[in-house]
Amino acid sequence: MIVKAMVYERYGPPEVLEMREVDTPVPGDREVLIKVAAASVNRSDWENLIGKPLYARMGGLRRPRRPVLGSDIAGRVEEVGRAVESFRPGDEVFGDVMYHGGSAFAEYVCVPETAPIVHKPATISFAEASTLPQGAVIALQGTSGRIEPGSRVLINGAGGGAGTFAVQMAKAAGAEVTGVDNALKQEFIHSLGADHVLDYAATDYTKMVSGYDLILDLVCERSMWAIRRVVAPGGRYMVVGGSVPALLSAATVGRLLFVGRPEDRGPHGAAQQRGPAPGRLDGHHRLATRRHRADLPVGRSPRGVTPAR
């Protein structure tokens, strides 16, 4: 059967995308064929389309290896392989297919049963479900277990996919939330529940004398030195996305700035439990996004920072 897909053969602007007819994927013994009802667009799709930053070309330096973009889908199982146990035809599902052989911007996708695909709750629509795999999971990773009632939380990129979820999760946890994004999104971010909203073009949040218990940085561009000034003693700075130089800075300079002084370290450079929080740097590549997340607890109070109340 012939179906339609959005195909691109070279990196570039949206004009390089072309609607084409392609063959319907055929599921193997342990694969699931899904008819796509909805697919969301993420920042990773834009990066893979234009081939920037450089890590977006890991799958093909000059030309994209995967001719069809898209990662987050929701739809119905059309067919399953004979060895599949978790799904049956007709099941409503959603998940992230990017690194599991599928591409979301097509009428059908075929992925292994072990891909991060789960059954869709009946209480949410296909469109709603398709927004969850990347954005909501990143937000959950950045906020879960890190916020207490009364915590002061700043979310940079609050009007984006992950940011909109993070604002709501932080408010639900009882935090005082500051959202940072462009001027066009100010009213929208307020509607999500943010207590304060900053236009990044008009206000540099790193120059505010305010101690944040958690900064979730989804579009890191500021220097680690500047960010360090506005994190409260014992607070955390978490970077999820941003420019390559900024991410490298977080992984190097950030490690030195956020885990405490050299004299506070134990054997082999390991940070000790000294001050209000242990100093440690956790990093990982999320399977579905390849976005680096660094979790940087602050081990001592920087000068000029007002502790959070």
Over the stretch 135-179, which tens digit does the pLDDT of each residue have?
999 999 999 999 999 999 999 999 999 999 999 999 999 999 999
Instruction: Give, for 246, the enclosing helix (H) or strand (E).
Output: helix 244-258
- Tokens, residue 173: 């946890």
Q: Rounded distance, CA 234 to CA 229, Å? A: 13
Structural domains for the chain: 2-130 (3.90.180.10), 134-297 (3.40.50.720)
Average pLDDT over residues 33-43: 94
Over the stretch 264-306, which tens digit does the pLDDT of each residue have?
333 333 222 222 332 222 332 232 333 334 444 443 333 332 2
pLDDT of 264 reads 32
Instruction: Give, for 297, the enclosing helix (H) or strand (E).
Output: strand 292-297
pLDDT of 177 reads 97
Average pLDDT of the chain to the nearest whole number:
82
Residue 134 above 60 pLDDT? yes
Q: Is 210 exposed, middle or buried (0-12, 13-18, 19+ CB in 10 A)?
A: middle
